[in-house]
Each structure stands twice: as structure tokens, then as C-alpha cells.
Amino acid sequence: AIARGKPVVTANKEALAKHWPEIMARARRRGVPVGFEATVGGGMPVVRAMQRHCSGDEIESFAGILNGTCNFILTRMKEYIVRHLEDREIQKRSLPLEEALAQAQRRGYAEPDPSNDLNGSDTKYKVAILANLAFDTFVDPADIYCEGIWEESQRIVPSDLYFLHHPRYLAGKFALKLVGVAERRYGRPTLRVHPALVEEAGPLGDLAAVSENFNGIVIRGRRLQTQFIKGLGAGPQPTTISVASDVREIATGMLRARAAGASAPGEAALADLPAAGTRRGAALGDVRRVPTRGYLRSFSPDVKGIYARKLEILARHKVNVQSVVNVREFVYGRDRVMPDYIEIDATPDGAVRDVLRAFRRLKNVRDPMYFRILEL
Amino acid sequence: AIARGKPVVTANKEALAKHWPEIMARARRRGVPVGFEATVGGGMPVVRAMQRHCSGDEIESFAGILNGTCNFILTRMKEYIVRHLEDREIQKRSLPLEEALAQAQRRGYAEPDPSNDLNGSDTKYKVAILANLAFDTFVDPADIYCEGIWEESQRIVPSDLYFLHHPRYLAGKFALKLVGVAERRYGRPTLRVHPALVEEAGPLGDLAAVSENFNGIVIRGRRLQTQFIKGLGAGPQPTTISVASDVREIATGMLRARAAGASAPGEAALADLPAAGTRRGAALGDVRRVPTRGYLRSFSPDVKGIYARKLEILARHKVNVQSVVNVREFVYGRDRVMPDYIEIDATPDGAVRDVLRAFRRLKNVRDPMYFRILEL
């Protein structure tokens, strides 16, 4: 369409994120406007907020819940656990991710193939698009560190929600969310997508409160400090409206330009087309160096020596342990593995990932996963 | 400036709200763009959200905390009370509105003359501007029903916060905020500004959580359902940035139009200039007919018969009473009046105002005030 000089309005975040420099350069050359409000957070005006409002400010970071499908699933799993906290049969009657997903599909909040939503790719493309605007660059989405919530070795299970919400354990201090995070660090955009614990009563409490199929984003600027935007995520309605709004804006601009006697109507309607930047992805900050803290979860049978081996690995990687908690209410499978949660102090993210890798090599230890506490 | 064909960027909400039709008609005639992001919620992109994003939707209502000064003051008064809940001398040591205001002035969050902030006028102008965009009309701000928080007979006092937050009474169920509310009702925009109780755990919980000098707004659309935006309110920084962002947007538009060979560069840059509408204010819905519920506060000495007289007036106006509560911890003045809070069922707002008028005529009863529970 661009080659034929036609304005483009798109909701295809994958194509836009991957081919950003080509699309923007071509559009600029041909004087063709490109609207893409619908690619991120259909029901909230986040693209325009980034594009226009923050143009007078310097954006330092943002963190968003950008996938309505994941958020709906995590909300259902949490609600189920909270409703059944005192049920002695909680494990048998718990709501696994697969069932929450089926609910989402019945309501039309999840695609028949939900892989891109659940493995974080959808969030990754959105982070790339927003980072392009926020940091005036081109980020190759393939360079963004990304963890999801349902890969075989990286799947949220009911005991996670139980541990987070039961008064005996973390008592609802944190909400579990799939987040996309962007920060200026080491002079570079540093980007990551992963499940995270968001403190309910902390400075990111607005984000912790984003539930159901809503999206939400916190944007930190040097001068405007904190902005927060929240709106409907998953669903065809928001997308349609964002597309319609882009179309209308471009059409209005073109009509006016024609009325004003512009020779190339498209040119005048170019809605703040971002710089094309380089054709190769910008160099990103190293997420392995970012200090994070949180909880390491893994499953193991209640046998002698297994905790000692885990703690020994942690010590070897210089990770400080705060506490180790067994959740005895949940015992899985024939070999009766039990989840435990190890709370760690702030550590470079790469060291924690090395620990996870070492855990995976341990006999008897299964599905280690890291729940980072979100801090901005 | 418009008469000379110069683009206009303004942060003057009073002038814009009062002279909307003239300004828009003149700008349209001369092909001059008008930027006014800075007039409402400097630190959050609410004008653009209303103007562009929601252009594909039909807006049903909005409710906003739009004055950072009031919000800062109410936050301070609440925090003080919450910190001293169990202090037996709480009344003597409480933080009156005047002192919270002085704190706001020291921090630069309040003007030397704060009348327009505290009597609700500032919020009223902002509601008018947002309603013009949301309902595509011209609202004369003088027609908006408006109550503030510091007029002599309408002043928030420490016992109000005590009643709202002490576990013996409402136990923090509600946050007290000065809100601007707009709804389509009876086929017309129905607009009001007043202090309101916003339920912390209810559907407007996002709004209840807006504290300090932040602004926040909930926008309800027919298709996009609920959006929420929050950002810095009071202070020179947000205003400056919004103005700069408007200037930049207009300049970009004009440069592009010129590049495209437009004969009247301004024309092409007209950023979605809203319709001028009629020159006379639109007919608004009657706020007196809107059903509201909440708490009536008044002060009276602990003498026989005074409650009976109040209840008799309520009955005469067909207002159902749910409960009557004395707050004995607070006794004011030489005649030792004590605040009581009468909880009422949903009643047409006009009837409650008639009750307040009748209360004011009662001997021994002082400063009756109505705390409406915000519902959208």
C-alpha cells in the first residue's frame, strides 16, 4: 500500500515491530501516513501518549501489562485460589492455567492458538514498538529478553498463586502479572518481558490493580514523573475503534491539506511519523546486568540433601538467600515433588539465570522458575 | 493572536471554557490551530485522549480528580488523621484545611490566592472543556453545578476525615476527593463538581487511589468500556511540557504543510479542531434529578430534640435514613457542637439540597454539608 502512495493503518504488531525501519523509511519517502494506535493496548491511548504528549519530556522507563489474554488467565487463577484459600482439598480442586485459558477462549479473549500471547511474544512486539517511540530508536524484537507463562519449564501453576495469596505465605502482598519493562540503563534501552510480582501497596500499585482483560502501563518521565494509563486489552472492539480513530485522523488531515491546496495531500497528514532510525536493531543494554530480586520456585521430593544442594548452588553464584519456604499443601505427580520458594536479595539477573540452569541439571529438581519483583 | 492568523497554544482554562464557541469559530474561520492540552491535567494526556482516541467511541460519562491543589490538601488531611487515629487528643492536634493549604503553598502546589482551586471553579472549567470534547457541544461553565471544599458553610474539617477513616466508623471504605462528573442523562450532558466519597474497593477504585498532587480521570465509553488515566496535576512543569508538546505538534504540522506546498500553512495543521457549536451554552441535564446517596454532616449541640427535628425534615422530603452517627471525639467551639453523619439512601439530589437548606434554618444546627458517594 505504501508503495502505491496509500495511507496505512495497521493493527499488525508483529509486522510493524519487525519491519519498523523499512516501513517508516518508505512511508517518509512516499509521504504516506502510518497509523498504528491499534498495535498496542487497543483500549487505551498509549501510542499517542508516547508519541505526542511525552515528546516534551524525556522518558526514563515504562512497565506495562500489555497482553489481555495473560492478564485474564492470571486473574482467574488468582480469584480461584483466593476464593478457596481455606479449602483442605485445594490442590485437587485448583484451577490450572489450561482451564483458565479455556475460559478465556470461550469468552473470545484468546485465539485458538494462544502461543504468542502466552509465551510473551505479543508483549515483546508491543514493547519494541513503544520503545521505538519512547527512546527514538529501532529495537529488533528478537533482541528483547522474553519469558512467558506457559512453556513447559516456565509455567504458572496453582501453587504459585497459593504461595502469593495465602496469609501463611505472602498474603497478597504482590500481584502476579506478565509485564514488559523498558528502562534507560547503561546509556541504552534495556528491555525485558517476564512474569513479575507487582507490590499492591507500593509505587507500582496502579499496575498491580490492573485485572481481568485490561491493559495498563506506567510511564516515567524526567519531568512529568509518573503517568498511568489503563484500558481494555483483549477483544476485537478496542482494536476496531483504534483503527477507526487512526483512519479518521489521517482522513481529516488529508482533507484539510487538500483544502489548503497542498500538492501532495498525504504529506501534510503525516501524523508525527517517527524517525526511521537505523535499519539494524539498536544496541540494547544487557539485561543480565540488571539487579533483580524475587523468588525462585522449583519442585523437588522431600528428600535429604536436596535443599543443601540448591543452597550450595546459590552460594556458588553469590546469590544471597533471605528465606526458603515449602508449600506442603501442594504435592505433584507420582514422585510427590513439592514446590519450594527461595527468596533472594538483589542479584544481577544473569547470575540468577545461571542458578536456574544449574537447578535444571540437578537430579530430582523440576521446573525451576524465577518470579522477579518488579522495580522501576 | 487568532485575528492576526497566528496559531494559539493556551493554558488558560477559564478563558477557553468561557469563550469556547468564539475561539473555535474564529480559529476555524482564519485557519488557525489551537492547542490546549495544558488546560486540563497538565501531566496526563487527557485532552488528546478525549479528542482523538475516543473519537471512534461514544462517551457515556467521565469522572475526574482534576485539581491537584485540592487533592494534595485532602491527602495531607487524611494522612494526618490516619497517623493519629488512636491519639486521645486527636481533635486538639488535628490538621485543619488551612494548615494543609499552607503546606501546599510552601511546596508551590497552590496559588497565593487559592479560591478558584478550593471553591471548585478550576475543576468546573476543566469539566466544561472535557465535556465540550466528549459530547461535541459547548457548555457554559456558569451552568455547571459546583460545590467546593472551603467555603464557610461548605468546608472539609478534620472530623470528616476521622469519620471516614476510623475503624469505629467508615474504616477507610471511601476516599474523599473533589470530583468533576459528567454523564449523558435524560439525553443531555449532566455535569457537576463537588466533594465525593470514592469507594476504595469498588469499580472506581483507581480514582480513589489518586493521591498527593496527582490528577486522574475515569472515562466510560459505550464500546471501550472503562479507561483510566493518571498523571501529575499541580505544578509548573506539567503545564510547560503540555504547552511545548502543543507547540511542537502545530509547528510540525505547519512545516509539513509548507513542504507539501499548502498555500495556507496554518490550515493543514488544524489539529482536530472541535466544532464551534452554538454560541449559547447547551441545555444541560438537571442535576437535581440525579439520584445520589451519601452522608449528611452537620454540627449541633447534644441537646434533646435536635435529632428528631433533623429526621423530621428528612422524612418530609422523602429521604430514607440508613443510620445516624455522632462523632463524640470532636466537639467544636464554645457552644460545644458535635458533628453527626446521617447516611441516606439514593434520593434525587435536589431533595437532599432542600434538606440542607432546611437544616441551615434550624436553630442550633451549623454547617450542614453533603458527602455524595460517587457512582457512575
Q: Looking at the domain assignment, is residue B27 inside a domain?
A: no
Residue A215 near residue A44, CB atoms below 8 Å: yes
DSSP letter at A374?
P
- Domain span at residue A362 reads 287-376
Category of A107 on φ-ψ map: left (φ > 0), alpha (ψ -120 to 50) or beta: alpha
Residues 24-63 of A with CB under 8 A from B: 31, 37, 43-45, 48-49, 52-57
Q: Which of B283, B45, B327, B53 is nearest to B165 (CA)?
A: B327
H/E run at residue B191? strand B188-199
Q: Looking at the domain assignment, is residue B325 inside a domain?
A: yes
Residue B219 near residue B226, CB atoms below 8 Å: yes
Category of B209 on φ-ψ map: left (φ > 0), alpha (ψ -120 to 50) or beta: alpha
Q: Is B301 helix (H, G, I), strand (E, B) or coil?
A: coil
* Separation CA B133–CA B48 (nearest Å): 10
Q: Looking at the domain assignment, is residue B36 inside a domain?
A: no
- Mean pLDDT is lowest, of A47-56, A138-147, A267-276, B183-192, for A267-276
User: Residues of B with CB below 8 A from A223's CB?
Assistant: 237-238, 241
Q: What is the per-residue pLDDT for B84?
A: 94
A183 with A300, same domain: the answer is no
Distances (CA, A) of A61 to A58, A68, A190, B49: 9, 21, 9, 21
**Interface A-B: count of C-beta contacts within 8 A:** 161
A263 with A298, same domain: the answer is no
A225 with A292, same domain: the answer is no
Q: Looking at the domain assignment, is residue B101 inside a domain?
A: no
Scored b (16 or more CB within 10 A) or e, B187-212 reads: eebbbbbbbbbbbeeeebebbbbbbe
Q: What is the per-residue pLDDT for A355?
A: 98
Mean pLDDT of chain A: 88
A176 with A238, same domain: the answer is yes
Q: What value, to the nearest 5°, has the Cα angle with vertex A46 and ends A41 and A52? A: 155
* Separation CA A234–CA A212 (nearest Å): 10
Out of B237, B245, B267, closest to residue A53 by CB:
B245
Identify the bridge partners of residue B230 per DSSP, sorted by sequence position: A228, B216
* Separation CA B309–CA B300 (nearest Å): 11
Name the grid cell of A366: 523440576
- The reply to whether B230 touches chain A by the CB within 8 Å rule is yes
User: For residue A4, what is the domain's CATH number?
Assistant: 3.30.360.10
Q: What value, to the nearest 5°, has the Cα angle with vertex A335 and ends A331 and A339? A: 35
- The reply to whether B323 touches chain A by the CB within 8 Å rule is no
A31 with A109, same domain: the answer is yes
Residues 237-276 of A with CB under 8 A from B: 237-238, 240-242, 244-245, 248-249, 252-253, 256-257, 259-265, 267-268, 270, 272
Q: Which of A179, A150, A178, A176 is nearest to A165 (CA)?
A: A176
Q: What is the per-residue pLDDT for A273?
A: 62
* Separation CA A146–CA A180 (nearest Å): 9
Q: What is the per-residue pLDDT for B39?
A: 86
Query: Mutate which of A40, A215, A220, A241 to test chain B, going by most B C-beta atoms within 10 A?
Result: A241
Angle of the A97-106 helix axis to the A68-83 helix axis, nearest 10: 120
Q: Looking at the domain assignment, is residue B332 inside a domain?
A: yes
Of A251, A285, A319, the last residue of a domain is A285
Angle of the A20-30 helix axis to the A121-135 helix axis, nearest 10: 50
Q: Looking at the domain assignment, is residue B138 inside a domain?
A: no
CB-CB under 8 Å, A31 with B37: no
Residue A63 near residue A217, CB atoms below 8 Å: yes
pLDDT at A265 over 60: no
Q: Looking at the domain assignment, is residue B72 inside a domain?
A: no
Distances (CA, A) of A282 to A98, A286, A324, A350, B362: 37, 12, 40, 21, 73
Name the grid cell of B305: 430534640
- pLDDT tens string, chain B, 376 residues long: the values are 777 778 888 888 999 999 998 888 888 888 888 888 888 877 777 887 787 655 678 899 999 999 999 999 999 999 999 999 999 999 888 899 999 999 999 998 888 899 999 999 999 999 999 999 999 899 999 999 999 999 988 999 999 999 999 999 999 999 999 999 999 998 899 999 999 999 999 999 999 999 999 999 999 988 888 999 999 875 667 777 777 777 777 776 665 555 554 444 333 334 456 655 556 788 999 999 999 999 999 999 988 889 999 999 999 999 999 999 999 999 988 889 999 999 999 999 999 999 999 999 999 999 999 999 999 9
Of A285, A303, A337, the last residue of a domain is A285
Query: Mutate which of B52, B58, B210 to test chain A, going by most A C-beta atoms within 10 A?
Result: B52
A195-247 pLDDT, tens per residue?
A: 999 999 999 999 999 999 999 999 998 888 899 999 987 566 777 777 777 77
Q: What is the per-residue pLDDT for B254?
A: 61
Q: What is the per-residue pLDDT for B329?
A: 93
Query: Mutate which of A28, A30, A222, A227 to test chain B, going by most B C-beta atoms within 10 A?
Result: A227
A65-111 pLDDT, tens per residue?
A: 999 999 999 999 999 999 999 999 998 888 999 999 999 999 988 88
A198 with A321, same domain: the answer is no
A355-364 pLDDT, tens per residue?
A: 999 999 999 9
Q: Is A36 helix (H, G, I), strand (E, B) or coil?
A: coil
A202 with A331, same domain: the answer is no
User: For residue B363, what is the domain's CATH number?
Assistant: 3.30.70.260
Please tell me the distance in Å from B219's CA to the nearest CA on chain A.
Answer: 9
Query: pLDDT tier at A262 (50, 70, 90 boundaries)?
Result: very low
Q: What's the sign of the alpha-carbon dihedral B293, B296, B302, B304? A: negative
CB-CB under 8 Å, B48 with A49: yes
A153 with A21, same domain: the answer is yes
Q: How many domains does chain B have?
A: 1
CB-CB under 8 Å, A52 with B48: yes
Residues 59-118 of B with CB under 8 A from A: none
Distances (CA, A) of A315 to A225, A320, A325, A371: 38, 7, 17, 19
Greater pLDDT, A186 or B242:
A186
A82 with A102, same domain: the answer is yes
Q: What is the per-residue pLDDT for A267?
A: 39
- Mean pLDDT is lowest, of A25-39, A41-55, A127-141, A194-208, for A41-55
Residue B250 near residue B7, CB atoms below 8 Å: yes
Q: Looking at the domain assignment, is residue B327 inside a domain?
A: yes
Q: What is the per-residue pLDDT for A269?
A: 37
* Separation CA A66–CA A123 (nearest Å): 6
A119 with A250, same domain: the answer is yes
Of A235, A266, A285, the last residue of a domain is A285
Looking at residue A250, its amino acid is I
A325-338 pLDDT, tens per residue?
A: 999 999 988 889 99
Q: What is the per-residue pLDDT for A258?
A: 55
